Amino acid sequence: MPIANIAALGTTRKMLGFSRSTVEFEGATIADLLRQLPTQDGRALYDTLVCNGKLRPDFAIVVDGLSLRTDELDKQLQGGEQVVTMAIIRHLAGG
Amino acid sequence: MATTTAVTPSQGRWIPSTCGMCLHGCGIKVYVEKGVALKIEGDPTNPDNLGKLCPKGNAGLARLYDSTRVLHPMKRTNPKKGLHEDPRWVQISWDEAYEIVARELGKVRRDDPRKLLCALGDFQRILFWGWPAVFGSPNFFTSLGNYCGGSYHPVNGSVDGSFASINDYEYCNYWIQIGSGDGFSSHLHLSGSAKRMADARMRGMKVVSLDPRCSIASAKADEWIPIIPGTDRAFVLGMAHVLVHELRRYDRAFLRDRTNAPYLVNDSGDFLRDAAGKAQVWDLSANIPRAWDEVPPEFMALEGAFFHDGMTVRTGFQVWKDILSENTPEKMAEVTTVPAATIRKIAKEFVDAAQIGATIEIEGKTYPYRPAALNYYRGSQSHGNGLFDNLTFKLFNMLVGNIDVPGGHLGVPLDHRGFFVSPGEDGMLKPEPHQLHPGPVFKYPPDSSHLMEWFPIGFDAGQLNAETLLNPERFGLNYRPEAMLIYHSNPWWNMPETDKIEQIFQQMKFVVAIEIQETESTQWADVFLPDQTFLESTLLNCLEPPAVTGHSLRQPVVKPLGDTRDAYEILTELSERMGFRDNWNDLLNMVCGFTANPKYLLDPDKRYNVEEFWDVYARSVYGEERGLDWFKEHGHAVRYRTPAETYMAYGSLRIPFYFEFIKRTGDEMRQKFSEVGLKDWPLDNYQPLPFWKNSQVLEDGKAGYEYFAITFKESLHTFADTMVMPWLSEVSEKDPVHGGILINSITARKLGFKTGDRVRLTSPAGSIDGGVQVVEGIHPQVFGVSNAITRNVVTNKRVKTRGTHFNRLLTGSMKYTDSATGGLESTARVRVERL
């Protein structure tokens, strides 16, 4: 089974209950990985971050430095990737 | 009798660092002897400023050693608050100061974090501007950036993924300067830009300056054209008319092949799309519309109207061409007071100089060569229709195909990360109107007091606080702010409608200031947390560099004076005491780009001191071998941008000529407002192309406000911040243009005024008083008020407080705000009376 190195920031850190973890998972896509990450409330992270098969616009996932588009949840993972999950903070003041 | 001892260089040492007297950060070296900084010079090894340094940078020591600096945490003991109320500060320990602030802000946070207003400045530490978001507050209580960037930045980001823009100093031969000090007195990296401008003039570049006042740029230009404020767009629309309708000279190949100008527009103003949703062009070979990527360029119609499927469709270019047919030089002359012959002359000179069709080879690659460009900034586009102003200036440059090519009008990135380049729809570059934070999502009731949720393509319209906070119910705001964080910002001074801002200050139950010196705004502070100056603190800086890229290190060159702390440490300690330091680290992970390489992610459970933080930052950008120690030794990693980084960084992606996405955003907003029952919110400016229409400030003339009032700045000062410095205020006082209200001699004769007379200017928003200064170099219908006439509250007794606070004349309401971008009107209509 492939492994992924997860870094969870902000809200997703609190959902998952860890900030860094190496996770072994079944399957080959980001969606597969998210389905196998349990959150503190018992659901999978996928259920919180994904709506109608797309990543919700309030969240971001970065794989090896590249931010995924909302429709890229079927992106294939080879194993060993660095995956960052985070909530987007829109109110970063500045003008 | 005092004695002096000569200082020899061998007694001290030069330390490389970065200037902090404005937002851009020139490379400097500071001569330090026995722990005392004695001299600042430009760093000749830094290609950004090439060893040059402006007056502000030279005066940096005066800030460090200013006897009126606040050097210890202070607590207010006078419960009465007001502009002229003495806070009766008493010195306290940092521990007590932190305890008070954490207790008071903590209460607000537990109750409703939106009740914190944050006034943020200090652009060099822009990475820290997310602190309020971690606290939970969405509010931006200042309008500082909106005076210049409210409409400017979103349009730059929408055209080519840039943050700012500038003409190409290296190759431009004909430079039109509209309402800007670039290369002469202000804006992007002045010291280096002035050198680049001087070099370009030496090789023969011509400069034409449009400005109501004979600014430094105008005085040094080959030609100065005085113009009515807020009508620069009309002048440029007139020139565009000349190019398109009279001379018929424009870069057809550029418009057809590198923009969406040939895309067909239906009678609703949307692109004509095929069944697959692709934008269509008119195929001249088959005489039918086809998808944009199915038609060879030679068969793609750039202009024309075509009958298709029961309606007339036009190319995007044709739509603007039709708009321009109305903008004859004669009509635009009536608006601007610039003679039609002058509009025609400048248009002709511009297109002649542009050399449409020419190419140039640079480092083995051939680029289009367009050595004529129009540059602009605050004066010409900080208006109620600022979106139209910016779009007009960009489109005029596009007519000669000079966007992002040698000699032309170039994008300038926000920082070292370069342009925001990613593919959008229809073969286009994806528009990026927001670069300081993700685009806001519509919400009603809104969360933010400046209604950012209602400006999806705009910037933070801080000036709206003057309306919303005094009438929250009118805007659906279901809370009232109770506390304020002032972070290197002076909202009392820099926001319009000063009386309303005072009322808002009075409503605050608790105010904390992180500052270096007292200001008008800190008169309301309960606790003062003293930050360190740029000569005592640490950061890596790279902001809006016009010609270079890479960071320059700001480092302590002397031991910090008194008991001051680096702002990073202050914000981190407050986060710690309020229980969200982990989130603070996570936010820094995001805004610093550490997510791109998780190896450098800050651990949420660890506290990093200021040096550790910047060390991580340095290594995340430059690799393990260039940490903070490397920068301490070398000072900077600044280098020239390569041609590939500078010119057409987006490759073959098309850039917008017809801004369909703006129109579409307006349609979506209209729908959303309708769904929540808000029918009177203005959405007029969500237009795909610019045209001429009067702004509110021009309409105010009908209400008896005969004259215009403008303000201006020069190289001596940065916003209001430096006006309290004796070195700089002394220089200002010796220049008559900073001595009072500038009035043209013709107008002065007509009104019977002479230099020294006291007058009052009254706008629809308020009044200011000042002494008349009769000059020749200002438009006869315009009064000029220098930004350097000094402040109202100054602790340094050597600085005179003459008042004449221009922003009192401005209005912060939506009537004077661009409805699409949130850009602020910075000109006022006034009447004048003798006192």
| Cβ–Cβ < 8 Å for B81, B505 | yes
Residue A94 and residue B439: Cβ atoms within 8 Å?
A: no
Looking at residue B459, its pLDDT comes to: 83
Looking at residue A95, its pLDDT comes to: 43
Find the CB nearest B598 among A7, A13, A88. A7
Peptide linkage before B560 cis (omega within 30 of 0): no
| Residue of chain A whose Cα is closest to the Cα of B131 | A92
Answer whether B157 touches A (CB < 8 Å). no
Answer whether A21 touches B (CB < 8 Å). no
| Cβ–Cβ < 8 Å for A34, A49 | yes
Instruction: List chain B residues with CB under 8 Å of A82.
Output: 597-599
Distance of CA B495 to the CA centre of its chain: 15
Residue A94 has pLDDT above 60, yes or no: no
Average pLDDT of B592-600? 91
Answer whether B145 touches A (CB < 8 Å). yes
- Give the residue ranges of DSSP H helices in A17-85: 30-35, 45-49
Instruction: List chain B residues with CB under 8 Å of A9.
Output: 586, 589-590, 595, 601, 604
Model confidence over B429-441: pLDDT tens digits?
999 998 888 888 8
d(CA B193, CA B833): 41
- DSSP characters over B424-452: -STTBBPP----SSPPP---SS-SSTT-G
Instruction: List chain B residues with CB under 8 Å of A95.
Output: 140, 142-146, 149-150, 436, 459-462, 822
Residue A95 and residue B144: Cβ atoms within 8 Å?
A: yes
Residue B800 has pLDDT above 80, yes or no: no
Q: Which residues share a beta bridge with A86?
A: A60
Residue type, B421: V
Find the CB nearest A91 among B138, B586, B599. B138
Contacts for B103 with CB less than 8 Å, ≥ 6 apart: none
Instruction: List chain B residues with CB under 8 Å of A80.
Output: none
d(CA B550, CA B561): 30
Residue B678 has pLDDT above 70, yes or no: yes
d(CA B183, CA B167): 10
DSSP letter for B186, please: S
Range scoring the smallest mean pLDDT among B218-232, B422-436, B460-474, B720-734: B720-734
Find the CB nearest A95 among B133, B460, B605. B460
Length of chain A: 95
How far away is chain A from the Cα of B148, in angstroms, using its nearest Cα? 9
> CA end-to-end span of chain A, whole Å?
47
Contacts for B736 with CB less than 8 Å, ≥ 6 apart: B773, B775
Find the CB nearest B590 among A9, A19, A93. A9
CA dihedral A3, A5, A9, A11 (to 10 degrees): 10
- DSSP characters over B653-675: -BB-SS-HHHHHHHHHHHHHHHH
Answer whether B425 touches A (CB < 8 Å). no
Q: What is the mean pLDDT of chain A?
A: 90
Q: Which residues share a beta bridge with B306?
A: B313
Residue B7 has pLDDT above 70, yes or no: no
Answer whether B494 touches A (CB < 8 Å). no
d(CA B567, CA B610): 9
Name the nearest CA neighbour of B137 among A93, A58, A10, A13: A93
Instruction: List chain A residues with CB under 8 Å of B437.
Output: 89-94
Instruction: List chain A residues with CB under 8 Å of B439.
Output: 90
Answer whether B144 touches A (CB < 8 Å). yes
Residue B120 and residue A93: Cβ atoms within 8 Å?
A: yes
Range scoring the smallest mean pLDDT among A53-57, A86-90, B163-167, B380-384: A86-90
d(CA B752, CA B746): 10
Name residues 84-123 of chain B within 8 A of A (Cβ). Answer: 118, 120
Helix (H), strand (E), coil (C) string for B5-24: CCCCHHHCEEEEEECCCCCC
CA dihedral B685, B686, B691, B694 (to 10 degrees): -10
Residue type, B238: G
What is the share, in percent, of chain A residues with pLDDT greater than 70? 94
Range scoring the smallest mean pLDDT among A29-43, B596-610, B690-704, B778-792: B778-792
Residue A95 and residue B459: Cβ atoms within 8 Å?
A: yes
| Residue of chain B whose Cα is closest to the Cα of A61 | B595
d(CA B2, CA B196): 44
| Residue of chain B whose Cα is closest to the Cα of A69 | B422
* Torsion over CA: B28, B29, B31, B34 (sign): positive
Looking at residue A91, its pLDDT comes to: 64
Residue B85 has pLDDT above 80, yes or no: yes
Average pLDDT of B15-36? 96
Residue B790 has pLDDT above 70, yes or no: no
- Return the residue in B23, B586, B606 with the most chain A beta carbons within 10 A, the one to mutate for interface testing: B586
How far away is chain B from the Cα of A80, in angstroms, using its nearest Cα? 13
DSSP letter for B601, please: P
d(CA B130, CA B485): 13
- Which of the two residues, B794 and B817, has the higher pLDDT score? B817
Name residues 23-82 of chain A within 8 A of B (Cβ). Answer: 57, 62, 65, 82
If phi over 0 gives left and psi between -120 and 50 gives alpha, with beta otherwise, what is residue B698? alpha
Q: What is the mean pLDDT of chain B?
A: 94
**Two structure tokens written together for B417:** 């990360």
CA dihedral B696, B700, B702, B706 (to 10 degrees): -140
**Two structure tokens written together for B346:** 């400048």
> How far apart, in Å, are the Cα atoms of B312 and each of B73, B309, B658?
70, 8, 17
What is the share, in percent, of chain B residues with pLDDT greater than 90? 88
Average pLDDT of B301-317? 97
Highest mean pLDDT among B121-125, B135-139, B440-444, B747-751: B747-751
| Residue of chain B whose Cα is closest to the Cα of A84 | B595
- DSSP characters over B88-147: --EE--HHHHHHHHHHHHHHHHHH-GGGEEEEE--GGGGGGGGHHHHHT-------TTHH
Q: Which residues of A35-71 are buried (b: 16+ CB within 10 A; e: fewer)?
A: bbbebeeeeebbebbbeeeebeebbbbbbeeeebebe
Looking at residue B803, its pLDDT comes to: 62
Find the CB nearest B601 among A7, A88, A93. A7
Q: Which residues share a beta bridge with B515?
A: B530
Residue B1 has pLDDT above 60, yes or no: no
Model confidence over A70-88: pLDDT tens digits?
889 999 999 999 999 998 8
